[in-house]
Each structure stands twice: as C-alpha cells, then as structure tokens.
C-alpha cells in the first residue's frame, strides 16, 4: 500500500482509524493504530462523562479529558494522532481549540458541515483540518466557503458512505440506494476536489470510509481515486480498542439481521446492533429523567426517548442492557478479537494478494 500524504505529514499506511464515540476510540486504540503506521483518532464525544470525576461541569471535564487523552497518546506513540470532533456537539469550539492547543496532528470533523473550523486555527499552527462529507456537492460547498471566508482549503477530505457505523449523513431512503453507495460517491467527491487542486495548485487527498472491511476493499476504493481509507468497525474488535470487552463481544455475537438502522434522538439515522435496550426504546419504555449534559446541539431533549450520551457511555462501560453499540454494516462479520498490528498486517497482505491477482 502506498503511504498517505497529507501536506508535510506522511502515514506509512493509507489507513485512518475513524473516531468512535463514546469512548470507543481513546488514546489506547489511537496510539496502537499510529504505532502500526496508520492515523489513530481519539473521539471527543462524551469525554466530559468519562472524565466526570475531574469536574461535575461537563464542559470543564471534556476539556480536561481531551488534554489527558492527547497526552497519553503522545506518550505511547511517535506516530500520527488525530481527533474527531462532530459539528453537532455543543462543545465543538472547546474541543477544537483544546486539541489545537495540544498540537494535535489533524482534526476530523463531520456530523454537519464544519464551515467555521478554520476560524479556530491560529496562524502558524501545524494542525491539519479534514472535514467529513457525504457528497461531491458538500465537498464543493465546503471548499468554496473555506476559500472565500478564510482563504484556506481542507488539508484532506473524508467521504463517508452509508455503510458506516454511528450517525449517518443520509436520509433513511438513501442508505440502501445504490446512487449513494461509497463506490458511487467517491468518484464524485474526487472529481470536485480535483477542480480545487488544479485551480489552486494544492493537493487535497480524499479518504473514503464506510463498509471498507478487507485489503481487497481498500484496493478497490483506492482505485476509484481515493488516497486513503477510514475504517471504524474493524478496529472495534481489537485488543487495544478502548471499549469494554462486552461491547466488542456484541460484534462477534451479531448476525447480519442484528445490524439495524435506528432513528437517533440527535435527529439523524444511525447504525447499531439490535438489543433489548433498543427494543425497550421502540416499545416506548424508556424516558430520560433529565438532560444531564446538553451535549448535542440538535438533540430533541423534550421528546427524546432516552439520553444518547448516557446510552453510549453505558455501552462503552459494557452495560449493554442500558445502552447499545453503534456499528458499521459489516460488524456481523467479526469473528475474533485481534491486535491492531495483526489487523494491519492482514489488511496489507490481502491488499498485496489482490493486486498480484489483478496483474
Ligand atoms: C462504534 C462507532 C462509533 C462511531 N462514532 C463516531 C463519532 O463519534 N464521530 C464520527 O464522526 N464518526 C463516528 N463513527 C464512524 C467511524 O468514524 C467511521 O467513519 C465509520 O465507522 C467507517 O465505517 P466502517 O465502520 O464500516 O469501517 C463511529 C463508528 C462506530 C462503529
């Protein structure tokens, strides 16, 4: 596999580990991925719950948590470390500012278009900015806005297709529509990005994710013009993944039918593994006592059937009857827990074998 070059930063392998909240990708997983040659990404979602022993104030604990996780990751690796900050988070600005202050290598930002992301990067900062989009149209809009308002372009663009895990930037009907498949949208995004590259004489690598599972998948996506892939699901079932073993076990136990689309209180569809908690939600048996964190801008607090932050936190801690696991469409294919290095080796050898078979 060819290295992934983002400006002056080079990852030996073109594999980005997608940020996974709440708590699924912290410094443990991110540093293991970075040590294995990929880009490791810490999720900023819910750090204020994970670090609530530091402060009862969600925002204060989140800032502390971000600093702690970045410092732990730095101690564990000299590789490339990024953070994932969703636009929908109420503390988006705090999380972006803190990670830039800590000198994070790259910020990935989706779940909404991060139109003002460059405003947080001071002159001289080396932090790269990589928005996550789900269409060529969104990529074009974002590049135009950033150029117009801040005279910058993204350092990389992630395109996430509808097979991804967690919240999806698609309407329910688009999720199964072939016109919105990753294979269909990667060439669209690449074509839009190429125009900006040519006009301004820059390189903006496109990184594509959502359903990428094997080395062969990586080869196919790169042959569509992407320079790298973003993978989430495969990294959940690793020894270094920061989630409780019970969370990982749900992937191993899941059948294809168990992986379902849910309507999240955040107002977006999401993909998760079916369980008794989600059954209780459907039956109307759950109701949050209060909104403890005000963590997501778009959350419908009044009608919400449950607090998503607590449900995802409980799942991260292994309390699967009080929450659920987000998962990509391929989660049911998981059969065992392996080390990140073994996974990267497997992906590399599958990639090479596929390339040789093509030659
Ligand atoms: C458990 C889980 C949690 C996720 N949480 C986030 C998140 O907090 N922010 C985000 O932008 N993407 C999130 N994602 C999406 C991943 O970063 C990644 O892009 C996606 O899962 C790639 O598809 P794959 O799982 O099929 O490899 C999550 C995915 C999973 C499986």
The DSSP code sequence of 61-115 is HHHHHHHHHHHHHHHH-SSEEEEE--TTBTTHHHHHHHHHHTT-SEEEE-SS--T
Q: Which of 315, 308, 320 is nearest to 264 (CA)?
A: 308
Cα torsion through 94, 298, 107, 115, rounded to 10:
-100
For residue 243, which atom of ligand 1 is closest to its CA? 1
For residue 208 and ligand 1, the question of a CB distance below 6 A is answered with: no
From the CA of 209, how far away is ligand 1's center (Å)? 9
Residue 83 CA, ligand 1 centroid: distance in Å: 13
Using most ligand atoms within 8 A of CB, pick from 166, 186, 269, 270 the residue to mutate for ligand 1: 166
Q: Is the dihedral of CA 151, 157, 161, 165 positive or negative?
A: negative
pLDDT tens figures, 120-134: 999 999 999 999 999
pLDDT, tens digit, for every residue of 69-128? 999 999 999 999 999 999 999 999 999 999 999 999 999 999 999 999 999 999 999 999
Q: Which of 16, 20, 29, 247 gets mutated to test ligand 1 (max ligand atoms within 8 A of its CB)?
A: 20
Going residue by residue through the chain, which has 359 residues, state the pLDDT in tens, using 9 for 90 and above.
999 999 999 999 999 999 999 999 999 999 999 999 999 999 999 999 999 999 999 999 999 999 999 999 999 999 999 999 999 999 999 999 999 999 999 999 999 999 999 999 999 999 999 999 999 999 999 999 999 999 999 999 999 999 999 999 999 999 999 999 999 999 999 999 999 999 999 999 999 999 999 999 999 999 999 999 999 999 999 999 999 999 999 999 999 999 999 998 888 899 999 999 999 999 988 888 788 888 888 888 888 899 999 999 999 999 999 999 999 999 999 999 999 999 999 999 999 999 999 99
Burial readout 280-309 (b: 16 or more C-beta within 10 A, e: otherwise): ebeeeebebeeeebebbbebeeeebbbbbb
Q: SS3 for 11?
A: strand
């Amino acid at each position: 596999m060819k290295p992934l070059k983002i400006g002056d930063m080079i990852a030996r392998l073109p594999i980005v580990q997608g940020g996974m909240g709440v708590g699924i990708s912290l410094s443990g997983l991110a540093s293991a991925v970075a040590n294995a040659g990929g880009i490791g990404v810490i999720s900023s979602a819910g750090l204020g719950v994970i670090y609530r022993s530091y402060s009862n104030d969600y925002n204060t604990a989140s800032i502390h948590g971000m600093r702690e996780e970045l410092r732990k990751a730095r101690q564990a690796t000299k590789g490339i470390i990024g953070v994932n900050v969703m636009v929908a988070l109420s503390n988006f600005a705090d999380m972006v500012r803190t990670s830039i202050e800590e000198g994070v290598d790259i910020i990935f930002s989706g779940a909404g278009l991060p139109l003002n992301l460059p405003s947080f990067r001071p002159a001289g900062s080396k932090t790269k900015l990589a928005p996550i989009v789900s269409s060529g149209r969104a990529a074009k809009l974002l590049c135009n806005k950033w150029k117009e308002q801040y005279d910058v372009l993204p350092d990389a663009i992630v395109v996430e297709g509808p097979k991804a895990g967690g919240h999806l930037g698609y309407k329910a009907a688009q999720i199964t529509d072939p016109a919105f498949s990753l294979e269909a949208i990667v060439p669209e995004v690449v074509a839009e990005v190429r125009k900006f590259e040519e006009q301004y004489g820059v390189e903006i690598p496109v990184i594509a994710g959502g359903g990428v599972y094997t080395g062969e998948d990586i080869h196919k996506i790169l042959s569509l013009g992407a320079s790298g892939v973003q993978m989430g699901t495969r990294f959940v079932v690793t020894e270094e993944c920061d989630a409780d073993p019970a969370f990982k076990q749900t992937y191993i136990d899941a059948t294809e039918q168990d992986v379902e689309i849910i309507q999240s209180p955040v107002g977006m569809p999401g993909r998760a593994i079916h369980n008794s908690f989600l059954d209780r939600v459907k039956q109307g048996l759950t109701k949050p006592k209060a909104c403890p964190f005000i963590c997501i801008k778009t959350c419908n607090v009044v009608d919400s059937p449950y607090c998503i932050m607590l449900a995802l936190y409980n799942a991260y801690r292994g309390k699967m009857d009080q929450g659920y696991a987000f998962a990509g469409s391929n989660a049911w294919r998981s059969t065992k827990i392996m080390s990140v290095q073994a996974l990267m080796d497997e992906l590399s050898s599958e990639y090479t074998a596929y390339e040789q078979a093509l030659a």
